[in-house]
Structure 1
């Protein structure tokens, strides 16, 4: 049965702001004009009732993740396994298990958006409250911009390598940011159509790259460059990075499912999303693992990588040179699929910060986020490996907190307390205070630093250089704190 379109008090207040405040009225008129001329999405982070949904093809639940993950950007992560002194074979094994486990979190969170018609961070209001969801939105934006920064830098390196250094990395960064911004303006419908096909050519080129670069792969892929406690620490560190990378989609995966029917099978959503995340991520990361072996066993290519980055290394392993340059140019454009989604979802998270932010059209936030992403990528373009290591480990800790709390709420507390009050998602007096969610998030994320690689006391107990235990400590902290805290919140607050 299709629900009747009704609005809660908070939703009506946003509509009233758009009509009453002059600048907002003009901005929304501009958005309406852009919609009429170019077909951009105007709904933003608003709830999508069932009678207004226009679902894409079911297969898009796989293809959208193919486009976002079949990019050479993941090569930079995969090569870190051997760089951490693991063998190529060990790195591949950790890649498979880290991806398989990490993909569970975004696959689950994605199931929450069709039944509610709400974007992923908006759904978190039912566990974190309206104010707590603002914190989740901020963390989501930081995560997305971190992803975007890495992609922009790699794209810049590729374009610079193709030009023989005549074009700077900064130019490539600008090109990617501008193109991604333009596509993200169009919103849900165009993004789904673009992501349906964006991966196909890139997959073909990556297969060719696999074949052409195979002659450089490590002659002893099973040889580990560390042993004992050092190897254990390296394995834990690399696992944390792989897990964090794929789990990081948890805070946006549902953004692309709000138009699917509320009664769609949750197992179908979960399964298709997991497949869409697992297959492309593992494929590209394994290529990265092999490139890590190249760096450690081939002095010439290692020097090229050290001097000019991953773009120059890819160029050097493919032939002839004209073909290699063509591939690298296409690769640099492949990041558009991922960065487009980053700008889109981040703009939705900003709108969820407050009703006044919701009243501002999405295209305004898109433009601001693109400018921030450009600035960060520009500033960090010479420190790519440091950005990846520092960013992805923290990413895993946050998503473990986020996903576990939403799982407890959806699977235990909501079924026993009346389900989701959809009309009240904008109303403070109808949402939880979020005390349990925020405290559990703070405790879990705070305790994660006990196990963080290199600096945490628990991590240093594993190996001299550390072994990342942050995800496990975070999971244990959330499991032990959220259920009792949430039970107390319901008992004394009533919602």
Structure 2
């Protein structure tokens, strides 16, 4: 299999390939891994019982999946990576602002997921330390990522089958485990904790939004948007919901499950199946970290290309992916002792910054431009989208400031969150406010931009008309101006 030759450039129609059905397998298998289990575990650690944890997990995924899948539908239409399309909203240089945050997000996910995989490697091979396991996993992830799009799709397609078989067996065993009393009590409801869990679980799929279209951009342009949305939504929601539900049950049934989730999960079974489960966990970590590393590379190239045009050669591709993988691995080595604390705050951090970006992007694509973009100008710093779009930049920054009173993390709790007994509804602010602040000024700007060429055209026709200067001839009639 050849190394992918495209990076952030447009995919020509003659090079489009693949089946839209593959979007189900890539997003299903990408989420059938231990990090998602840990995200579900947060519901119990935050204080919800099993019943309300499951309600929050289901609702969170159904909501988060909507945003993820609507971004995915942009891929075949535009044929470019997700984040470079942000230039149409933020400007060629202005898009660097969300891009930097996206790179941080990918690297953070890379190291958090890597720690869980390293724990599994250490459990299977005790002679390999967590540090060396992180280095080994990073190297394997690097090699796969260098080959790129086609290898990633092929790998995820077959892993989806393996993961489904193994986790069906795991699920049958887990749901039969004894659970604490009152686990299913409907009356044991805590609104603030429920909203917090709903925010975190919805954020998981939403964090795919900045790169989900990267894996649909090679599909033919005439690929149905409904099919792209449907397969992405189904794969992402089913895989994520399944793993989070397992996390809820396992955390409720096993004391200190989150201290070493891979070991606790595999320890439920005999030696033979435990080893198989460890291997599945390790492969799952590699599969999601390939996506994290691939898109960290794409976001980094998009950022640097805004300032300096350069060809992405195979050597440059390898070197940049190597640097990003090394940074993520080093962070994992130093952060392995405080994983749960870091991971919890990291998930909340993502929603504060990525939901406003998603709102602006979707409003622009579906309600303002209706999917019509000038691809050439997206790559031109002097093109129609300009260097900066201050409407989107101001909307984005103002929203982040307005989110602060609603935030609730281990290091800061805003006054409104305190008044709501700890409920974190910053995600709602991050969704509604930027949509309003961006839509109405941009609609006014579009009206002015579209009216000027029309006015010039009418004046030109009037000037060249042989009839009275105050009339235009249309067919056999004269139309009064």
Shift of the alpha carbon at 1:467? Answer: 1.2
TM normalised by structure 2 equals: 0.86
1:181 to 135, 142, 145: 142
Q: What RMSD in Å do the two structures reach over aligned CA positions?
A: 2.3
Distance 1:339 1:352 in 2: 20
1:287 aligned partner: 246
After superposition, what is the alpha-carbon deviation per residue over 1:28-67, rounded to whole angstroms, capped at 9, x for unaligned? xxxxxxxxxx6101211111122332x1122101111012
After superposition, what is the alpha-carbon deviation per residue over 1:402-456, rounded to whole angstroms, capped at 9, x for unaligned? 22111221123214xx931112221122224321111111112222222112411
1:398 to 353, 376, 380: 353
Question: Superposed, which structure 2 residues align to 1:306-455 within 5 Å?
Answer: 308-318=259-269, 320-355=270-305, 356=308, 358-361=310-313, 362-415=317-370, 419-430=372-383, 431-432=385-386, 433-454=388-409, 455=413
Question: Superposed, which structure 2 residues align to 1:166-315 within 5 Å?
Answer: 166-220=127-181, 222-223=183-184, 231-295=190-254, 302-303=255-256, 305=257, 308-315=259-266
After superposition, what is the alpha-carbon deviation per residue over 1:318-340, rounded to whole angstroms, capped at 9, x for unaligned? 2x123213321331122111111
After superposition, what is the alpha-carbon deviation per residue over 1:372-395, rounded to whole angstroms, capped at 9, x for unaligned? 110111111111111221111121
2:429 to 473, 480, 487: 473
Stretches of 4+ moved more than 4 A in 1? Answer: 223-228, 488-495
1:96 aligned partner: 58
TM normalised by structure 1 equals: 0.84
Do the aligned partners of residues 426 and 94 (structure 1) sit closer, same or farther apart at CA in structure 2, a change above 3 Å counting?
same
CA contact (8 A) 2:79 2:217 kept: yes
Secondary structure class of the residue paired with 1:79: helix
Distance 1:120 1:100 in 2: 22
Secondary structure class of the residue paired with 2:30: helix
CA contact (8 A) 1:148 1:373 kept: yes
After superposition, what is the alpha-carbon deviation per residue over 1:177-198, rounded to whole angstroms, capped at 9, x for unaligned? 1111100110111111111111
Distance 1:102 1:330 in 2: 26
Do the aligned partners of residues 212 and 413 (structure 1) sit closer, same or farther apart at CA in structure 2, a change above 3 Å counting?
closer
Any stretches of 5+ residues in structure 2 without a counterpart?
A: 453-481
Q: Which of these two proteins has the greater Rg computed from alpha carbons?
A: 2
1:50 aligns with 2:9: no
Equivalent residues, number: 441
1:461 aligned partner: 419
1:483 to 439, 452, 473: 439
Distance 2:133 2:198 in 1: 30
1:4 aligned partner: none
CA contact (8 A) 1:86 1:224 kept: no
Distance 2:52 2:340 in 1: 20
Secondary structure class of the residue paired with 1:249: coil
Do the aligned partners of residues 41 and 209 (structure 1) sit closer, same or farther apart at CA in structure 2, a change above 3 Å counting?
same
CA contact (8 A) 1:217 1:291 kept: no
Distance 2:62 2:166 in 1: 24
After superposition, what is the alpha-carbon deviation per residue over 1:238-259, rounded to whole angstroms, capped at 9, x for unaligned? 1111011111000000001111
CA contact (8 A) 2:114 2:134 kept: yes
After superposition, what is the alpha-carbon deviation per residue over 1:163-188, rounded to whole angstroms, capped at 9, x for unaligned? 4x543222222222111110011011
Do the aligned partners of residues 154 and 220 (structure 1) sit closer, same or farther apart at CA in structure 2, a change above 3 Å counting?
same
Distance 2:152 2:37 in 1: 24
Shift of the alpha carbon at 1:222? Answer: 3.1
CA contact (8 A) 1:87 1:224 kept: yes
Distance 1:404 1:75 in 2: 27
Any stretches of 5+ residues in structure 1 without a counterpart?
A: 1-37, 296-301
Do the aligned partners of residues 227 and 460 (structure 1) sit closer, same or farther apart at CA in structure 2, a change above 3 Å counting?
farther
Distance 1:359 1:160 in 2: 40
Distance 1:225 1:384 in 2: 31
Do the aligned partners of residues 119 and 221 (structure 1) sit closer, same or farther apart at CA in structure 2, a change above 3 Å counting?
farther
CA contact (8 A) 2:148 2:294 kept: yes
Q: Which structure has more helix as a fraction of its residues?
A: 1
Shift of the alpha carbon at 1:203? Answer: 2.3
